[in-house]
Amino acid sequence: MITDPTFYILAAIAVIIVGLSKSGFGSGIGVLGVPLMALVIPPAQAAAIMLPLLCVMDIFNVFHYRSRFDRTNLIILIPAALVGILLGTFTFRYLTDDHIRILLGVISILFVVNFFVGRRNGGKKRGPDRVKGSIWGAIAGFTSFGVHAGGPPVNIYLLPQKLDKTIFVGTTVIFFTIVNYVKLIPYAYLGQLSGDNLLTSLILAPLVPLGFWIGIKLHDRVNETLFYNLAYFFLLITGAKLLYEGLKGFWL
C-alpha cells in the first residue's frame, strides 16, 4: 500500500477536483485528476486507483442527471467508445509509464489550448454527426481507458453543438458512467485492480461525496470563469511536467 504522504495530499486534491467536475461545476477539468496523482506514482497505477472512485461518483451523477441527456449523441458515442476501450485493452501491455506520461501530457496541453481557442471563437452551432461522433467517441474510449482522459475528445465533439448546459452535463454523465463500468472488466483482466490499489481507493472514497456536494453547492455561487482559468493553468503546468518527464525517460 502507498504510504507517501505527498501522494495522499495530491490524491485528495485530485479526487475533489474530479468530483467537482463530475457534479457539473467546471466540467472538463476532471482530466487533471490522474496527472496530479501521476506526479508521484506511475500513471497506470494512478488510473487504477481512480477507476473505482469514478464508478462511485457515477452513482451520484446518474441519480442527479438520470433524465436529462441527449439520446442521439449517446447512441453515436457509446459504441465507438467501446471500440476505443477494446483497442486500449490490447495495446496496454505495449505502453510504458513514459509512453503514458507523454500521452497524458499531450492530451492535457491540447485540452488547455482547445479550451482557450474555443472560448475566443464562438463558432456556428452544429448538430450531432455520426462520423465525427464515432471518431471522437473511439478516441475518448481509448484515452479514457488509459488515463481517464476521455473528457477532452467528448468535449471537442459536443461543445460545438451548444447544448443546454444541463443536457450537456447529463449526456457526459451517462456516457462516462457506461464507459467506466465497462472499463472495470479489462482493468480486472489486466491485474490493475490489485488489493493494494483497491485499498488505496477505499481510503480515498470518503472524499467522493464531499467533492460532489461541494460542486453542487458552488455551481451557481462561484465565478466559474476564474475557476476555469486557474484549473486550466494548473493543468497546463502539470501536463508540461508530465510531457517533460515522459520524454526524458523515453529518450534517456
111-134 confidence digits (pLDDT tens): 788 777 766 655 567 788 899 999
- Print burial letters for 212-245: b (CB count within 10 Å at least 16), e (below 16): bebbbeebeeeeeeeebeebbebbbebbebbbeb
pLDDT at 156 over 80: no
Residue 210, number of CB atoms within 10 A of its CB:
14
- What pTM was computed for the model? 0.81
| Predicted confidence band of residue 135 (pLDDT cuts 50, 70, 90) | very high
Which residues contact residue 89 at a Cβ distance below 8 angstroms, ignoring those fewer than 6 apart? 145, 186, 189, 190
Tens digit of pLDDT for each residue in 14-61?
A: 999 888 877 766 556 777 788 889 889 988 899 999 999 999 988 888
Tens digit of pLDDT for each residue in 173-207?
A: 899 999 999 999 999 999 999 999 999 999 999 99
Closest CA to 111 of 31, 24, 227, 47: 31
CA distance 62 to 184: 18
Written as nine digits, the cell of 159 is 461543445
Number of domains forming the structure of the chain: 1
Range of the domain at 49: 5-251
CA distance 35 to 17: 12
* Exposure on the CB side of residue 62, measured as CA atoms within 13 A: 13
CA distance 169 to 69: 8
Predicted confidence at residue 152, as pLDDT, reads: 76
